[in-house]
Amino acid sequence: MYKILSKITLVPTLHEFVIEAPRVAKRCKAGQFIILRIHEEGERIPLTIADFDREKGTITIVFQEVGKSTKQLATLNAGDSMLDFVGPLGEASHIDNYGTVVCVAGGVGIAPVFPIARALKEAGNEVIGIMGCRCKDLIFWEDRMKDACTELRVTTDDGSYVCKGFVTDKLLDLINERGKENIAEVIAIGPVPMMRAVANLTREYGIKTIVSLNSTMVDGTGMCGCCRVTVGGEVKFACVDGPEFDAHAVDFEEMMRRGRIYKEEEQKSLEKYTNKSCTCSCGCGGAK
């Protein structure tokens, strides 16, 4: 069992857990993820490692409530435990001294970007962070991001905080200010449409861009092929070959189509959960 040491609700449907998992904390690196399972009937949920403390043996995850499993995860509190927690999975981010790098984070993507930005800064890069959310109420970890980046630019889609605009607007401003040749690399993590928009923009300018793909996963060890994505015409397994890939080579359309495979079932599962009209005979009274 893996114990939750602390829980912070960052915005109403977004939570931060610090979890005791010394095996994972010992060797994990920025860019890697874990898979957890809440209970015996649960599915395997992949989440990015948002932070870690090797000494304390803890892992921080930040997750958004989107469906049954993440909603149920959100009902857990400090002191509760989950059944399974495995990692670190996936390849770590390539950290080197590139010069100036831009870390673009959208929505919940702020959490996975944070450790990458920090590692890049520690490696001597000038790290310019761009973080954006739909509105002011959804902004989180601004302080952490400020520390992790050399410079941080914040934006909201509706203009309710700092300024109005998408992260791609901010990125375009930056490219114009600095000149494309002065940006060594862009790392973008967030909703797929956002990553695709960033990829389309930087492709025009020929700036190397990395995205982290959250395709649907089961085992996360390269055994099932559920997470396969097409990158540069080749089939890759996001869980072991990635999750980070060259943004300009990713087939985002295919990835989005594959992300919708279980829409109907996910809806059904969520309805059953929120209606608590569970008909199973396990005596859970709808809790599962």
Partner 1 sequence: MTEEKKSKKVVPTKYPMPHQDAAVRARNFEEVALGLDEETAVLEAQRCLQCKKEPCRKGCPVEVLIPDFIKLVAERDFAGAIKKLKEKNALPAVCGRVCPQENQCESYCTVGKKNEPVAIGRLERFCADWERTQGIEVPEIAPSTGKKVAIIGSGPGGLTCAADLAKLGHKVTIFEALHVAGGVLMYGIPQFRLPKEIVQAEIETLRKMGVEIEVNAVVGKFATIDELMKEEGFDAVYIGTGAGLPYFMEIPGENACGVYSANEFLTRTNLMKGYKFPEYDTPIKVGSKVAVLGGGNVAMDAARTALRLGASESWIVYRRSKEELPARHEEAEHAEEEGVKFAFLTSPVRVISNDEGWVTGMECVKYELGEPDASGRRRPIAIKGSEFIMDVDTVVVAIGQGPNPLVPKTTEGLETNKRGNIVADPATGATSKPGVYAGGDVVTGAATVILAMGAGRVAAKSMHEYLSK
Ligand X SMILES: Cc1cc2nc3c(=O)[nH]c(=O)nc-3n(C[C@H](O)[C@H](O)[C@H](O)COP(=O)(O)OP(=O)(O)OC[C@H]3O[C@@H](n4cnc5c(N)ncnc54)[C@H](O)[C@@H]3O)c2cc1C
Check the annotation: does 63 bind a ligand: yes
Check the annotation: does 52 bind a ligand: no
Q: Is residue 156 at the binding interface for ligand X, with CB under 6 A as the rule?
A: no
Residue 133: exposed, middle, or buried by beta-carbon count in 10 A (0-12, 13-18, 19+)? buried
Number of residues near ligand X (by CB under 6 A): 25
Sites for ligand FES among residues 210-229 (CB under 6 A) = 217-220, 222-227
Selected from 31, 36, 60, 68, the binder of ligand X by CB under 6 A is 68
Of 87, 86, 73, 88, nearest to 4 by C-alpha is: 73
In 109-171, the DSSP E strands lie at: 126-133, 151-156
Q: How far apart are CA 216 and CA 235, in angstroms?
A: 15
Check the annotation: does 227 bind a ligand: yes
Of 79, 38, 45, 78, nearest to 63 by C-alpha is: 45
Q: Is residue 78 at the binding interface for ligand FES, with CB under 6 A as the rule?
A: no
Token digits of residue 208: 């190397």
Sites for ligand X among residues 72-111 (CB under 6 A) = 108, 111
Long-range Cβ contacts of 96-99 (<8 Å, 24+ apart): 96/123, 97/123, 97/124, 97/125, 98/125, 98/184, 98/185, 99/125, 99/126, 99/182, 99/184
Binding site for Mg ion (CB under 5 A): 67, 69
Token digits of residue 97: 């001294």
Q: Is residue 230 at the binding interface for partner 1, with CB under 8 A as the rule?
A: yes
Q: Is residue 259 at the binding interface for ligand X, with CB under 6 A as the rule?
A: yes
State which residue has the least CB distance to Mg ion.
Answer: 69
Number of residues near partner 1 (by CB under 8 A): 46
- Residues making up the annotated binding site for [2Fe-2S] cluster are 224, 227, 239
Instruction: Note the residues at the interface with partner 1 (CB under 8 A).
Output: 23-24, 26-27, 37, 41-44, 68-69, 83-89, 218-219, 221-226, 228-230, 235, 240, 254, 257-258, 260-262, 265-266, 268-269, 272, 278, 280, 282, 288
- Residues making up the annotated binding site are 62-64, 224, 227, 239
